[in-house]
Amino acid sequence: MLWSDVGNPYARAISLGCYALAAALAVSEILILALALHPNVHPDYRAYYIDRTTTCLNRDTVGIYSLGQTVSFRSDGAKRASGMKVCGWSGPAADGTHSLGETSRLRLQIPPLRDGLKATLQMAAVVRPPQMTQRVIISVHGVSVHKVTLSGKQPMTVSFFIPHAAFSNASTFEMTFDYLDGIPPSKAASSIYKRSIKLVSFRLDAV
Amino acid sequence: MRKSGTDNLVPAIKSPGDAPSMKGAEQFEIFPDYGPRINRRHMVAAAVVAVPLLFGFTGLAIRYAAVASTLAEPGFEAYARALCRWDCHWYVDISERGYERFPIPNQSNVGRWGFFPFYPLLVAVIRAIFPFPTIVVATVASLACSYAACLVAWPLLKKNMQAYVLYCAFLLSGPFSFHFTTFLSEPLFVLLTSSVFLALKRSSYPAAGISSALLSATRLVGVLVVFATVIEMFQQHRKGGGSPLSFPRWVLGRPDLLVAILISPAGLFAYILFLYVTVGDGFAFLHVQRAFGRVAGNPILFLWDGLSAFPKTGWLPTAPQWSALAAIAGLALSVVLMARKQYGAGIFCAISIVVPLITNLASMVRYVIGLAPLILLMAFLLSASKLTWIAALFLFLVACYFMTVAWIGGYLALV
Q: What is the pLDDT of residues B289-321, one digit of tens each?
A: 999 988 888 999 999 999 999 999 888 899 999
Confidence of residue B25 (pLDDT cuts 50, 70, 90): very low
Interfacial B residues in 95-124 facing A (CB < 8 Å): 102-103, 107, 109
User: Residue A72 in contact with residue A201, Cβ under 8 Å?
Assistant: yes
Decide if pLDDT at A113 tops 70. Answer: yes
Decide if pLDDT at B20 tops 80. Answer: no
Averaged pLDDT, A29-50: 96
Single-letter amino acid, residue B347 = I
Residues 6+ apart with CB under 8 A from B5: B30
DSSP for A113-151, written as a single string? -SS-EEEEEEEEE--BTTB-EEEEEEEETTEEEEEEEEE
Nearest-5° angle of CA B20, CA B26, CA B28?
55
Residues 6+ apart with CB under 8 A from A28: B269
Residues 6+ apart with CB under 8 A from B227: B344, B347, B348, B351
Predicted confidence at residue B32, as pLDDT, reads: 57
Decide if A157 touches B, using CB distance below 8 A.
no
Q: Could you say which of A4, A32, A48 has the minimum Cβ distance to residue B272? A: A32
Question: Residues B338-357: pLDDT tens digits?
Answer: 999 999 999 999 999 999 99
Predicted confidence at residue B11, as pLDDT, reads: 35
Beta-carbon neighbour count of residue B62 at 10 Å?
24
Decide if pLDDT at B208 tops 70. Answer: yes
Decide if pLDDT at B12 tops 80. Answer: no
Confidence of residue A4 (pLDDT cuts 50, 70, 90): low
User: What is the distance between the alpha carbons of residues B210 and A201, in angstroms, rounded to a whole number?
Assistant: 59
At residue A175, φ and ψ (nearest 5 deg) are -115, 130
Which residues on B lie below 8 Å from A49 (Cβ)?
A: 281, 284, 287-288, 290-291
Question: Residues B364-382: pLDDT tens digits?
Answer: 999 999 999 999 999 999 9
Question: Residues B124-179: pLDDT tens digits?
Answer: 999 999 999 999 999 999 999 999 999 999 999 999 999 999 999 999 999 999 99
User: What is the distance between the alpha carbons of residues A12 and A4, in angstroms, rounded to a whole number?
Assistant: 8
User: What is the distance between the alpha carbons of residues B109 and A58, in angstroms, rounded to a whole number?
Assistant: 9
Which residues on B lie below 8 Å from A19 (Cβ)?
A: 255, 258
* CA-based nearest residue in chain B for residue A27: B262
Residues 6+ apart with CB under 8 A from A204: A65, A67, A68, A110, A117, A118, A119, A120, A173
Exposed (0-12), middle (13-18) or buried (19+): which is B250, by Cβ within 10 Å? middle
* Chain-chain contact of B293 with A193 (C-beta, under 8 angstroms): yes
At residue B330, φ and ψ (nearest 5 deg) are -65, -40
Predicted confidence at residue A5, as pLDDT, reads: 59
Paired with A118 in beta bridges are A161, A205
User: What is the distance between the alpha carbons of residues B396 and B175, in angstroms, rounded to a whole number?
Assistant: 6
Which residues on B lie below 8 Å from A191 (Cβ)?
A: 295
Decide if pLDDT at A111 tops 80. Answer: yes
* Chain-chain contact of A190 with B295 (C-beta, under 8 angstroms): yes
Residues 6+ apart with CB under 8 A from B138: B80, B91, B92, B95, B123, B182, B183
Decide if pLDDT at A6 tops 70. Answer: no
Q: For an interface test with A, give the residue of B257, B258, B272 to mutate (most A CBs within 10 A).
A: B258
Q: For an interface test with A, give the residue of B100, B281, B286 to mutate (most A CBs within 10 A).
A: B281
* CA-based nearest residue in chain A for residue B281: A39
Paired with A175 in beta bridges are A106, A140
Averaged pLDDT, B257-268: 97
Decide if pLDDT at B9 tops 90. Answer: no
Q: Could you say which of B269, B276, B288 has the minimum Cβ distance to residue A49? A: B288
Decide if A164 touches B, using CB distance below 8 A.
no
Decide if pLDDT at A91 tops 60. Answer: yes
Which residues on A lie below 8 Å from B272 (Cβ)?
A: 32-33, 35-36
Predicted confidence at residue B41, as pLDDT, reads: 87
Residue B95, helix vs strand vs coil: helix
* Chain-chain contact of B305 with A193 (C-beta, under 8 angstroms): no
Decide if A34 touches B, using CB distance below 8 A.
no
Beta-carbon neighbour count of residue A154 at 10 Å?
8
Decide if pLDDT at B16 tops 50. Answer: no
* Chain-chain contact of B258 with A193 (C-beta, under 8 angstroms): no
Nearest-neighbour CA in chain A from B163: distance (Å):
38
User: Residue B299 in contact with residue B360, Cβ under 8 Å?
Assistant: no
Mean pLDDT of chain A: 92
Confidence of residue B257 (pLDDT cuts 50, 70, 90): very high
User: What is the distance between the alpha carbons of residues B360 and A156, in angstroms, rounded to a whole number?
Assistant: 37
Decide if B280 touches A, using CB distance below 8 A.
yes
Confidence of residue B5 (pLDDT cuts 50, 70, 90): very low
User: Residue B176 in contact with residue B366, Cβ under 8 Å?
Assistant: yes
Averaged pLDDT, A67-80: 92
Mean pLDDT of chain B: 90
Decide if pLDDT at B3 tops 70. Answer: no
Q: Rounded to a whole number, what is the largest CA-CA distance in chain B?
A: 84
Question: Residues B27-82: pLDDT tens digits?
Answer: 445 555 666 667 888 999 999 999 999 999 999 999 999 999 987 788 999 999 99
Buried b (16+ CB within 10 A) or exposed e, B114-140: bbbbbbbebbbebbeeeeeebbbbbbb
Q: What percent of chain B has pLDDT over 70?
A: 91
Predicted confidence at residue A107, as pLDDT, reads: 95
Question: Residues B277-286: pLDDT tens digits?
Answer: 999 999 999 9
Decide if B251 touches A, using CB distance below 8 A.
no
Among B149, B120, B159, smallest CA distance to B137 is for B120
Q: For an interface test with A, give the residue of B262, B288, B300, B302 to mutate (most A CBs within 10 A).
A: B262
Decide if pLDDT at A73 tops 90. Answer: yes
User: What is the distance between the alpha carbons of residues B282 and B60, in angstroms, rounded to a whole number?
Assistant: 39
Q: Could you say which of B259, B281, B293 has the minimum Cβ distance to residue A189? A: B293
Q: What percent of chain B has pLDDT over 90?
A: 81
Nearest-neighbour CA in chain A from B202: distance (Å):
18
* Chain-chain contact of A192 with B290 (C-beta, under 8 angstroms): yes
User: Residue B343 in contact with residue B229, Cβ under 8 Å?
Assistant: no
Predicted confidence at residue B35, as pLDDT, reads: 65
Give the relative orientation of helices A9-36 and B266-278 as an angle to the nearest 10 degrees: 40
Decide if B304 touches A, using CB distance below 8 A.
no
Confidence of residue A10 (pLDDT cuts 50, 70, 90): confident
Question: Residues A20-30: pLDDT tens digits?
Answer: 999 999 999 99
Predicted confidence at residue B31, as pLDDT, reads: 53
Averaged pLDDT, B206-215: 97
- Terminal-to-terminal C-alpha distance of chain B: 67
Decide if pLDDT at B18 tops 80. Answer: no
Q: Rounded to a whole number, what is the largest CA-CA distance in chain A?
A: 93
User: What is the distance between the alpha carbons of residues B402 and B76, in angstroms, rounded to a whole number?
Assistant: 20
Nearest-neighbour CA in chain B from A73: distance (Å):
19
Alpha-carbon distances of B221 from B266, B287, B356, rounded to whole Å = 13, 16, 9
Which residues on A lie below 8 Å from B283 (Cβ)?
A: 36, 39
Decide if pLDDT at B268 tops 80. Answer: yes
